[in-house]
């Protein structure tokens, strides 16, 4: 196969500079940028080159080699953050039917309930999970939110976490949210949909690189890791699955993206129980 043509624009991104950026991105985030992504890298980074007043990619790549903050900024810009409320809604249907009642009983017995949205992007996924967990009965949901219940939302990119913690979205996004949850847990302010305090109470947002060490102790009852493994190579995916297995309680649930698979040595620690849904075996 011939190499992808060089992107055409104000600057030149030659093959060598592209390779340096791709290697650096892989080393620090696990994200694989194949040759076909040269145009994407150009369009995401050209604005930074311009803003920094640099003459072109050669100087910028030199900066990335020597400046960790500049490198992080480039990697954040190279993440793809597409998401939506109730994306792959069969996961939320499964959670409602097979998982929720057990977690409510656990919380009522005074035991901690821990869920993790491990590549949360701008928050639509963890808020969807919070609404599904709290349900559509305001009094019961508010009582549940006052128990030891926490949904950890983490992502590599700080700009998306800022949106998640603000909890304000364009009102047009309301169409993705079932009416019974919209009515119960959020309000409308001008052209914004505002996530209510009960949802925010159960959510905690942290920046976390899935490749680095994880500070969390304790066991998770539910892990969502959706539409991030697609960017990783096979060894990175396998290691990630192993690390999830170590942190997940027996009988807990792992939800992955529609085109993702559980692979590697920890596969035997998971039993498939639905479309891209796995239960951690004892």
Ligand X SMILES: C[S@@+](CC[C@H](N)C(=O)[O-])C[C@H]1O[C@@H](n2cnc3c(N)ncnc32)[C@H](O)[C@@H]1O
For residues 155-194, which are near ligand X according to CB under 6 A? Answer: 155-157, 160
Residue of 44, 143, 201, 239 marked catalytic: 44
For residues 26-85, which are near ligand X according to CB under 6 A? Answer: 29-31, 79-83
Asked if 153 touches ligand X (CB under 6 A), the answer is no
| Smallest distance from ligand X to CB 105, Å | 27
Sign (positive or negative) of CA dihedral 254, 159, 7, 15:
negative
Asked if 119 touches ligand X (CB under 6 A), the answer is yes
The arrangement of strands across the sheet holding 168-170 comes to: 168-170, 192-195, 186-189
User: Distances from the Cα of 71 to the Cαs of 26, 114, 159, 214, 268, in angstroms?
Assistant: 12, 33, 15, 21, 37
The 87-116 contact track toward ligand X, x by CB under 6 A, reads: x-----------------------------
Residue number with CB closer to ligand X (86 or 270): 86
| Smallest distance from ligand X to CB 127, Å | 11
Residue number with CB closer to ligand X (8 or 172): 172
Residue of 38, 71, 100, 155 marked catalytic: 155
Q: Specify which residues 168 forms β-bridges with.
A: 194
Tokens (6 digits) for 181: 């949850």
Residue number with CB closer to ligand X (17 or 125): 125
Sign (positive or negative) of CA dihedral 50, 56, 59, 65:
positive
Closest CA to 217 of 262, 121, 152: 152
H or E element at residue 153: strand 149-155
219 is known as an active-site residue? no
H or E element at residue 104: helix 100-108
The residue from 38, 114, 226, 237 that contacts ligand X (CB under 6 A) is 226
17 is known as an active-site residue? no
Q: Which residues are catalytic?
A: 44, 155
Residues engaged in binding ligand X (CB under 6 A): 29-31, 79-83, 87, 119, 121, 125, 155-157, 160, 209-211, 226-228, 231, 257
């Amino acid at each position: 196969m011939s190499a992808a043509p060089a992107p055409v624009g104000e600057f030149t991104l030659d093959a060598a500079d592209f390779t340096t950026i791709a290697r650096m991105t892989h080393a620090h985030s696990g994200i694989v940028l194949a040759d076909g992504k040269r145009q994407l890298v150009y369009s995401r980074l050209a604005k930074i080159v311009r803003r920094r007043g640099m003459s072109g990619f050669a100087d910028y790549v030199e900066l990335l080699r020597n400046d960790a903050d500049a490198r992080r900024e480039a990697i954040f810009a190279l993440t793809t953050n597409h998401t939506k409320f109730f994306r792959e809604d069969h996961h939320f249907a499964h959670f409602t039917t097979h998982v929720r009642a057990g977690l409510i009983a656990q919380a009522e017995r005074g035991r901690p309930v821990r869920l993790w949205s491990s590549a949360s992007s701008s928050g639509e996924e963890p808020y969807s999970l919070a609404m599904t967990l709290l349900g559509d009965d305001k009094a019961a949901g508010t009582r549940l939110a006052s128990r030891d219940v926490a949904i950890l939302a983490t992502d590599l990119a700080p700009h998306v976490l800022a949106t998640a913690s603000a909890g304000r979205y364009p009102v047009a996004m309301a169409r993705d949210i079932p009416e019974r949850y919209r009515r119960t847990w959020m309000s409308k302010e001008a052209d914004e949909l505002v996530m209510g305090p009960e949802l925010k109470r159960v959510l905690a947002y942290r920046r976390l690189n899935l490749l680095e060490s994880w500070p969390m102790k304790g066991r998770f009852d539910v892990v969502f890791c959706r539409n991030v493994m697609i960017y990783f190579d096979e060894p990175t995916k396998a290691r990630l699955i192993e690390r999830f297995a170590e942190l997940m309680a027996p009988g807990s649930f792992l939800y992955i993206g529609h085109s993702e698979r559980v692979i590697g040595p920890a596969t035997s620690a998971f039993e498939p129980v639905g479309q891209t849904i796995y239960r951690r075996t004892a």
